[in-house]
Amino acid sequence: MKEKDQEKTTRERIFEAAVMLFAQKGYHGTSMRDLARAVGLKESSLYNHFPGKSSLLEAVLAYQLEGFQAASALMEEMEETGPVFNDPVELWIAGAGAFMEKLPPLTETIGLILHNEMFLDDQCGRFVLHELFRVRKELTEKLLRRMHAQGLIRYCDFTKTAAQYVHMLHGLEMENRLRRLEGAGVEELQARLMEQIVHFIDGLRNKEN
């Protein structure tokens, strides 16, 4: 159903332009006039596709939620059929990479919008707290427990260690986004991300191996 539909609908073009503008100038800093100019339409035409400005933000949130849930579902599916690792770092890197590849294209940009809006918009705040903290910590803890059961990592407080990992990832993501705005290269930032993840998992390695 995506083969013959090469061109984007007007609604999609408006949505994508809104995502870019919200990420760049903030939700409050973006006017319907800005958006109309970016899409190449008149302001009034936007209202044929979205009932108002706030509905655009809701659509952005819905997109992100769907993306995360679809990626998570694919991960669970793959978990049973995927390869078996006997090294914790290799396992982790492969899993994290697979998950990120499954996320929709606008996910990273919308992540920036959520960061900007999480303390100003209730819905954004709840989304970040639930999807980006609670759910991720639970998944991480489950994975750590399984790795320990397989003898890949040593024993530790898995709940606190999972929290530590998720918090570190958020802090690192924050710094990398700031560095990107200051002109840092994407591959350099990706390398830093990997380095820190490896350092974390490596610290949990079972020394008896």
Partner DNA sequence: GTCTATAATCTGATAGAC
Partner DNA sequence: GTCTATCAGATTATAGAC
Would you tell me which residues interact with a second copy (CB under 8 A)?
23, 25-26, 28-29, 112, 115-116, 118-120, 125-126, 128-129, 133, 156-157, 160-161, 163-164, 166-172, 174-175, 177-179, 181-182, 195-196, 199-200, 203
Does residue 51 bind DNA (CB under 7 A)?
yes
Please report where in the chains the tokens 């007007």 appear, as a residue. Answer: 10
CA–CA separation, 29 vs 56, rounded Å?
A: 14
User: Per-residue DSSP letters for 176-196?
Assistant: HHHHHHTT--HHHHHHHHHHH
31 binds, among DNA, a second copy, none (CB under 5 to 8 A by kind): DNA
By beta-carbon proximity to a second copy, the closer residue of 42 and 130 is: 130
Is 49 one of the binding residues for DNA (CB under 7 A)? yes
Q: How far is the CB of 2 from DNA (least distance, A)?
A: 18
DSSP state for residue 133 in the 8-state scheme: I
* 168 touches, from DNA, a second copy, none (C-beta below 5 to 8 Å by class): a second copy
Residue pair 166/142 in contact by the 8 Å Cβ criterion: no
CA distance 72 to 135: 10
- Identify what 51 binds: DNA, a second copy, none; CB under 5 to 8 Å per kind: DNA
3-class state of residue 153 by DSSP: strand
**DSSP letter at 61?**
H
Q: Is 137 in the site for DNA (CB under 7 A)?
A: no
Q: Other CB atoms closer than 10 Å to residue 164's CB: what's the count?
A: 15
In angstroms, give the least distance from the CB of 26 to a second copy: 5
Q: What are the residues binding DNA (CB under 7 A)?
A: 10-11, 30-34, 41-45, 47-49, 51-54
